[in-house]
């Protein structure tokens, strides 16, 4: 688990693994402009020596993530996993039951590896209809409740509704919106760090 003194000693680094899709992979922008890189900078600015690993891949589905996750857990031994997947499954109209099953297994694998999981909620466009979008979005809160996870209710809250902050596809936030994503993630991450003894 995270060490209370990690901020004071470089050799006590903890690892945050961001495991997601194009929303976290700096899609169509410089990697340094993406929210994950900006989160790393925020941690440094706060004097925290946590290392952020971006394990996100554009186009990733929950099935693809489940296949990749064990190697990422073994290779990086994260203390915290920010799990941000499901959007591409939803855009393909895949069954919510299968999406949930894959997310659940990734949560279990992360917890078995000793990591605290922060689950990032995702919404898909309303044109998919409430009979699909409702259960799709609800699964994130349900999984958080079932596994005692800290939940980011919606990663793009206040961003997705504003066309000026979204790329032309209407799905991905612009570079200008990336600091706003950090502002959404930051207090959630802080709450987990405090729970683990981080000042």
In a domain, residue 4? The reply is: no
In a domain, residue 5? The reply is: no
Is the pTM higher than 0.75?
yes
Which entry of 22, 24, 56, 110 is annotated as an active-site residue?
A: 22
CB atoms within 10 A of CB 169: 9
Q: In what order do the strands lie in the sheet with 116-120?
A: 51-54, 15-20, 80-84, 116-120, 150-152
**56 annotated active-site:** no
Residue 26 to residue 172: CA distance in whole angstroms:
9
The CA angle 11-114-54, to the nearest 5 degrees, is 65
Predicted local confidence at residue 196, as pLDDT: 76
* Residue range 35-44: mean pLDDT, rounded: 97
Predicted local confidence at residue 194, as pLDDT: 87
Q: Per-residue pLDDT for 6 more than 80? A: no
Predicted local confidence at residue 199, as pLDDT: 56
Q: Per-residue pLDDT for 175 more than 80? A: yes
In a domain, residue 80? The reply is: yes
Per residue in 106-123, pLDDT (tens digit) is 999 999 999 999 999 999
Which entry of 11, 30, 168, 169 is annotated as an active-site residue?
A: 169
Q: Mean pLDDT of all residues in the chain? A: 92
Quick one: what percent of the chain has pLDDT higher than 70? 92
The number of domains in the chain is 1
**Token pair 């099935």: residue:** 63
Would you call 82 exposed, middle or buried from its count of C-beta atoms within 10 A (0-12, 13-18, 19+)?
Answer: buried
Which residue from 161, 98, 148 is spatially nearest to 119, judged by alpha carbons?
148
CB atoms within 10 A of CB 147: 15
**76 annotated active-site:** no
Q: Per-residue pLDDT for 99 more than 50? A: yes
* Residue range 83-87: mean pLDDT, rounded: 98
Which entry of 21, 56, 110, 172 is annotated as an active-site residue?
A: 172
Q: Where are the alpha helices (DSSP H) in the chain?
A: 35-45, 62-76, 87-91, 96-112, 130-147, 178-195
Containing structural domain, residue 158? 10-195
CATH number of the domain at 145, please.
3.40.50.1110
Per residue in 44-71, pLDDT (tens digit) is 999 999 999 999 999 999 999 999 999 9
In a domain, residue 1? The reply is: no
In a domain, residue 2? The reply is: no
**Token pair 């961001």: residue:** 18
DSSP-derived 3-state class of residue 198: coil
Residue 198: pLDDT band (50, 70, 90) is low
């Amino acid at each position: 688990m995270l060490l209370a003194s990690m901020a004071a000693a470089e050799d006590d680094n903890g690892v945050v693994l961001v495991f997601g899709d194009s929303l976290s992979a700096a899609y169509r922008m410089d990697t340094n402009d993406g929210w994950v890189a900006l989160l790393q900078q925020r941690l440094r600015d706060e004097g925290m020596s946590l290392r952020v690993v971006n394990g996100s891949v554009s186009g990733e589905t929950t099935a693809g993530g489940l296949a990749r996750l064990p190697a990422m857990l073994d290779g990086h031994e994260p203390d915290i996993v920010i799990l941000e997947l499901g959007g591409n499954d939803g855009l393909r109209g895949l069954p919510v039951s299968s999406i949930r099953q894959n997310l659940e297994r990734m949560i279990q694998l992360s917890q078995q590896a000793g990591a605290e999981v922060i689950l990032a909620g995702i919404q898909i466009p309303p044109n998919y209809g409430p009979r699909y979008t409702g259960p799709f979005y609800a699964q994130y809160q349900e999984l958080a409740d079932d596994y005692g996870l800290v939940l980011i209710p919606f990663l793009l809250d206040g961003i997705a509704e504003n066309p000026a902050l979204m790329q032309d596809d209407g799905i991905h936030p612009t570079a200008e919106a990336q600091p706003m994503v950090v502002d959404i993630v930051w207090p959630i991450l802080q709450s987990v760090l405090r729970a683990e003894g981080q000042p």
